Amino acid sequence: MWTQITAVLNDYTFQVVALGTGMLGLISGVVGTYVTLRKESLLGDALSHSALPGIGIGFLLMQRKEFVVLLLGAVVSGLMATGLIQLMSKKSPVKFDSALSVVLSSFFGLGLVIMTIIQRNPNAQQAGLDSFIFGQASAMLTRDVWLIVGASMIMLLLISLFWKEFKIFTFDADYGKTLGFSSRWVNLLLSTMIVLTIILGLEAVGVILISALLIGPSVAARQWSDKLSVVMGLAGIIGAVSGAAGTMISTVGVRIPTGPTIVIVLSIFIVGSLLFSPKRGLIAKRMKFYKKQKAFRQQIRRLEEEQGK
């Protein structure tokens, strides 16, 4: 078993894919922290499904599976979906969750129609395009991984530069406006990073599972701390470890899909955090309840003894 693991670690293909999925998990955890704290977790699901029409249109324009062009199409489609959601929720009586549902179903339906048209295309290059729906991390090339690494580094740099602005608008947007910050540009920049993170993860885990990679690490990290920097750091670590470990398990196993394996590993982190975190964990809360109950019973017993005397 150890010989097999050593052989996998020394395999160049595994190193490339593990680097891509690990970096993807890291940036998903970091950016997803803002999504979770802003209580917009469903936004990731809506934007991932909304990217499908852009991918299909990008393929129709190029007539081949050009990764950068497909990503650009997905980014444009995702930003359009974001704009529609914000417009519907702020400029109409439609609530935010209803706007999410409408945009998600409409864009995803349009994407499936476009994919059906593509499948009728005699051009054989469309083979494997459905990997964006279910994910196929093993199909990542070196250039795709470097694109993920480069984009992730840029987003991490932007987060460090605009740390104060993002923090203020995450917790108290009205207070940020009183300080003179432009909420429009801050929201646009943050929404663009969320869309880009989702788009980068489509090839690895697919439209269906990318929202789990975006939200899961921050949910697990939130159980361990109340400090934003700590939560974000833990979320990045959990996401990176989940990506690399899921890739390892799928490589060692036989015909185990990488994307779902990454999400399973991430789910283990989430369940473990929900159970064993010292402050918010279910076990810790239960122990505190038993201690309070025991102290209450002892207090009652002492009162009964005093009354008996």
Q: DSSP class of residue 137?
A: G
pLDDT at 64: 72
d(CA 40, CA 190): 12
CB 256 within 8 A of CB 249: yes
Dihedral sign for Cα atoms in the order 194, 200, 201, 207:
positive
Computed on alpha carbons and rounded to an integer, the radius of gyration of the chain in Å comes to 23
pLDDT surpassing 90 at residue 268 = yes
Which residues does 94 contact at the CB level (< 8 Å), separation at least 6? 88, 102
Q: Is residue 101 part of a domain?
A: yes
Averaged pLDDT, 107-114:
85
More confident residue, 130 or 95: 95
pLDDT surpassing 50 at residue 124 = no
Averaged pLDDT, 229-244:
93
Helices (H) and strands (E) in the chain, counts: 14, 0
pLDDT at 2: 65
Please give the C-alpha separations between residue 286 and each of 132, 279, 282, 290, 293, in angstroms, as whole numbers: 42, 11, 6, 6, 10
Dihedral sign for Cα atoms in the order 203, 205, 209, 213:
negative
pLDDT surpassing 60 at residue 277 = yes
Least confident of 31-40, 206-215, 228-237: 206-215
pLDDT surpassing 70 at residue 5 = no
Q: Is residue 299 part of a domain?
A: no
- The CATH number covering residue 187 comes to 1.10.3470.10
Q: Is residue 137 part of a domain?
A: yes
CB 202 within 8 A of CB 52: no
Averaged pLDDT, 88-116:
82
Q: Is residue 132 part of a domain?
A: yes
d(CA 296, CA 274): 27
d(CA 212, CA 23): 16
Q: Is residue 306 part of a domain?
A: no
Assign residue 280 a region (left: φ > 0; alpha: ψ between -120 and 50; beta: otherwise): alpha
Please give the C-alpha separations between residue 34 and each of 7, 28, 37, 98, 300, in angstroms, as whole numbers: 38, 10, 5, 21, 47
d(CA 30, CA 233): 7
Q: Is residue 288 part of a domain?
A: no
Phi, psi of 121 (to 5 degrees): -75, 130
- Helix or strand holding residue 52 (H, E): helix 52-62
Please give the residue range of the domain that contains residue 107.
Answer: 2-277
pLDDT at 272: 92
Q: Based on the structure, what is the number of domains in the chain?
A: 1
pLDDT at 128: 59
DSSP per-residue letters across 6-48: HHHHT-HHHHHHHHHHHHHHHHHHHHHHHHHHTT-HHHHHHHH
pLDDT in tens, 18-70: 888 899 999 999 999 998 888 877 777 777 778 888 888 888 887 777 777 87
pLDDT surpassing 70 at residue 123 = no
> Highest mean pLDDT range out of 8-22, 115-129, 224-238, 281-295?
224-238
Least confident of 37-41, 72-76, 156-160, 305-309: 305-309
The whole-model pTM stands at: 0.83
Identify the band that residue 125 occupies on the pLDDT scale cut at 50, 70 and 90: low
d(CA 291, CA 300): 14
Displacement of CA 175 from its chain's centroid (Å): 27
Q: Is residue 304 part of a domain?
A: no
pLDDT at 8: 63
pLDDT surpassing 90 at residue 269 = yes
More confident residue, 196 or 182: 196
Q: Is residue 143 part of a domain?
A: yes
